[in-house]
Amino acid sequence: MRGGPFRLDGAVAVVTGAFGKLGPMWAGALLDAGACVMGLDHPDQKPGEVFLALQKRYGAERLLPATADVRNRAELEQACDLCQKTFDVPSILVNNAGIDQPPDQPGGGYRLEDIPLEVNRQVFEVNTLGLFLVSQVFGRAMVKAGRGSIINIGSLYASVAPDSRFYDHIPSDPPFLKPPAYGASKAAVVNLTRYLATLWASKGIRVNTLSPGGVLGGQDDDFKRKFCARVPMGRMATEEDLRGPLLFLASDQSSYVTGTELVVDGGFTAW
Please provide the size of the chain in residues: 271
Residues labelled as active-site residues: 182
- Residues 215, 236: contact at Cβ < 8 Å? yes
Residue type, 41: D
**C-alpha–C-alpha distance, residues 196 and 206, integer Å:** 8
Strand partners, 93: 14, 150
**C-alpha–C-alpha distance, residues 206 and 149, integer Å:** 5
- Residues 35, 94: contact at Cβ < 8 Å? no
- Residues 190, 213: contact at Cβ < 8 Å? no
Residue type, 12: V
